[in-house]
């Protein structure tokens, strides 16, 4: 089980993510998000060995690639309506494709979209709601039991130290994405909550991918 901390805006939170053995750190490039950062601000944050992920909602491929270069990003998390062609232009090996299971009336429809995007991403992220993210809402985890995706997938949606173990008892993602559930305020992580969340996600280890 690997860990991603999203919505990073402060060096102290990035440092804590590194200390806890997280695999990924996320920066949100959306001006309407309370956790949004500018590319230069993200570039200035030292994240050590973390894979640096940019969350993109409205941008097209050329803007995404420009921000990735300026902010020193490894991966682009496509959190909007970007097409398969956009993802291919960014580079499939650099894309996390976000899907919202609640949009689908039947699991077969979710599987269809997982397969449709498979050629144009390296990971999936499954989030709560019908769009956006960071709302603190949670998914119906049992609905994702035995989900077989073409690539590793991350579970998001209101996860924190108090509920991540319950989620992982019901479904088996490759990783978990923490954001609002480990914060004191948007963009201000709580170091103790971060540590407790990692311990709950990996009770016998740390947050690194095995």
Catalytic residue among 13, 86, 121, 127: 127
Ordered domains of the chain (ranges, CATH): 2-201 (3.20.20.70)
Does residue 205 surpass a pLDDT of 70?
A: no
Q: What is the pTM of this model?
A: 0.93
Q: Is residue 177 annotated as part of the catalytic site, yes or no? A: no
Candidates 97, 53, 49; CA nearest to 72 is 53
Q: Which positions ≥6 away from 147 have C-beta within 8 Å?
A: 107, 153, 171, 172
Q: pLDDT digit string (tens) for 128-154?
A: 875 665 556 678 899 899 899 999 999
Average pLDDT, the chain: 93
Q: Where are the beta strands (DSSP E) in the chain?
A: 2-5, 24-29, 51-56, 75-78, 95-99, 123-126, 153-155, 175-178, 183-185, 188-189
Does residue 20 surpass a pLDDT of 80?
A: yes
Q: Is residue 145 annotated as part of the catalytic site, yes or no? A: no
The SS3 assignment for 8 reads: coil
Least confident of 93-107, 118-132, 144-158: 118-132
| Stretch 157-167: mean pLDDT | 96
Catalytic residue among 6, 86, 121, 171: 6
Candidates 123, 148, 134; CA nearest to 178 is 134
């Amino acid at each position: 089980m690997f860990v991603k901390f999203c919505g990073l805006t402060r060096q102290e939170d990035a440092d804590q993510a590194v200390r806890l053995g997280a695999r990924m750190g996320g920066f949100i490039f959306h001006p309407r998000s309370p956790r949004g950062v500018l590319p230069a601000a993200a570039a200035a944050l030292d994240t050590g060995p973390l894979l640096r992920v940019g969350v993109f909602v409205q941008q097209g491929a050329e803007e995404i690639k420009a921000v990735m270069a300026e902010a020193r990003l490894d991966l682009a998390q496509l959190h909007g309506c970007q097409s398969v062609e956009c993802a291919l232009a960014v580079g499939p090996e650099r894309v996390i494709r976000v899907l919202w299971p609640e949009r689908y009336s039947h699991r077969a429809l979710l599987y269809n979209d997982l397969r449709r995007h498979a050629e144009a991403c390296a990971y999936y992220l499954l989030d709560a709601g019908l769009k956006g993210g960071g709302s603190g809402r949670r998914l119906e985890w049992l609905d994702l039991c035995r989900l077989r995706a073409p690539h590793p997938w991350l579970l998001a949606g209101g996860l924190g130290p108090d509920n991540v173990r319950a989620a992982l008892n019901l479904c088996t993602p490759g990783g978990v994405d923490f954001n609002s559930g480990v914060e004191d305020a948007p963009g201000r992580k709580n170091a103790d909550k971060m540590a407790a969340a990692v311990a709950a996600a990996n009770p016998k280890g740390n947050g690194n991918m095995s």
